Structure 1
């Protein structure tokens, strides 16, 4: 049996986190769920993940700043940002940070899964 592709998810809303985890499972992906950016950083190993779904506004800081911290540590992982508080400045900061997708909550299952599938196909 093939191994499911692993996706990391960081969101401080437990129900959103569980929902995304469930969606990923239904679409054939494995997931590792984190409620804070600190928990993600403590995890330490990023090589196995195909991408990171990252909430822009976390209880312990900015998801965009977390993305920059990862990059500063030499961790190159594709990021899909999700946010419930969209505004032009945040959108520009997210896009400038090098994300593969920027989604506003609520988003469709398809809009979340398609960027992951494009990554796996080498299209992004």
Structure 2
């Protein structure tokens, strides 16, 4: 990973991973991509991470569960949730788990980049 801080992206949809990577690159951010919660579980370099973009509906696990596991391990990076299956219960669980943004697919570039800019500026 480069010296500048990267955005960790966890989503089981290859198209979303590719699109988010391209968007982050266009705005000057590096990214590290994970296609599953399992692949992300093996990651241990959080020191160089700016934040996590985390899909709620992963193949075998909820992104919210992943967030709880990170917190339990003492990893408190800001989280931006993304989901294609919005409902009130999921939204409330996401907010309660602690996130800086909750985005519904398809989301605008600005809705993803703005919270990342705030984290990078130390405002989130």
Unpaired stretches in structure 2, ≥5 consecutive residues: none
User: What residue in structure 2 maps to residue 98 of structure 1?
Assistant: 98
> Any unmatched runs of 5+ in structure 1?
none
Alignment size in residue pairs: 123
- What is the match of residue 19 of structure 1? 19
What TM-score comes out, normalization by structure 1 length?
0.95
Instruction: Give distance in 2, aligned partners of 1:36 and 1:30.
Output: 19
Please list the CA deviations of residues 21-67 of structure 1 after superposition, one character each: whole Å capped at 9, or x if unmatched: 01100100000000001111101221110000000000120000000
2:84 match: 84
For the 8 Å contact 1:12–1:58, the answer to whether it is kept is: yes
> What's the counterpart of residue 28 of structure 1?
28
More strand by share: 1
CA distance in 2, matches of 1:60, 1:75: 22
What displacement does 1:3 show?
4.7
Distance 1:48 1:4, change over 3 A: closer
Contact 2:4 2:48 in 1 (8 A): no
